[in-house]
Amino acid sequence: MGPAVVTPYALTVDAGTGDLRAADHLLHELAAGLALPEGTFGCTHLVRGDRPRVAVSLSLPSRPLLDTTRERLAAAGYGAVSPGLPDAVGRAVLYPGASALTGTMTVAELLANSAIDRVTVLGTPEPPGPQTRMVTRDHVRPQWQRDALVLAATPAMGGTLVPFEAPDPTPCCADH
């Protein structure tokens, strides 16, 4: 698939979402409800300040599609819709090839079949080898870093890797 391509056709939706799971759900809802094309990037962005929340952004492949999407979002009452991205470090939920990243695959397959540009392993200076197996847990959330879509991974059992972000994290202080 090759390196991620960022378009200048982006908008931000601030629906007042309180957490990443709800923002992921919102992005999937928008993709299905608006029939967004495969080339769309949908990201989450942490908004700090007096009212912390998670905004979402959509980067679309063309200006006409951006304009239509903006109108449909406003008409559907999805919250504040504004042009551009809130920051340059979004966490990608929707991106080309995301739906194919299921089960176990090699790092080479992950890179070849998605818009992810590279994989890093926490605590190591070198990238993983192309034949290193990645157990996706069907939850692959890379982040934008200097215009590249980068997946952070951690070592797992049997010499495999898993994405750093767990699909069902235990909330802090869950046991008390």
Is the Cβ–Cβ distance between 144 and 87 less than 8 Å? no
Q: Is the pLDDT of residue 110 over 80?
A: yes
Predicted local distance difference test score (pLDDT) of residue 26: 94
Band (pLDDT 50/70/90 cuts) for residue 7 is low
Across 134-160, average pLDDT:
95
Predicted local distance difference test score (pLDDT) of residue 170: 56
Q: What is the mean pLDDT of the chain?
A: 89
Is the model more confident about 4 or about 120? Answer: 120
Across 148-169, average pLDDT:
92
Nearest to 20 by CA among 171, 173, 175, 174: 171
Across 100-124, average pLDDT:
96
Is the Cβ–Cβ distance between 82 and 11 less than 8 Å? yes
Predicted local distance difference test score (pLDDT) of residue 176: 46
Report the C-alpha gap between 164 and 140 in whole angstroms: 9
- Residue appearing with tokens 């070849």: 112
Is the model more confident about 3 or about 53? Answer: 53
Share of the chain above pLDDT 90, in %: 64
Q: CA of 110: how far to CAs of 94, 113, 142, in Å? A: 15, 5, 12
Across 155-163, average pLDDT:
95
Predicted local distance difference test score (pLDDT) of residue 50: 85
Q: Is the pLDDT of residue 1 over 90?
A: no
The reply to whether the predicted model has a pTM over 0.95 is no
The upper half-sphere exposure of residue 90, i.e. CA atoms within 13 Å in the direction of its Cβ, equals 28
Q: Is the pLDDT of residue 112 over 70?
A: yes
pLDDT in tens, 28-83: 999 998 888 888 999 999 998 888 999 999 999 888 888 899 999 988 888 789 99
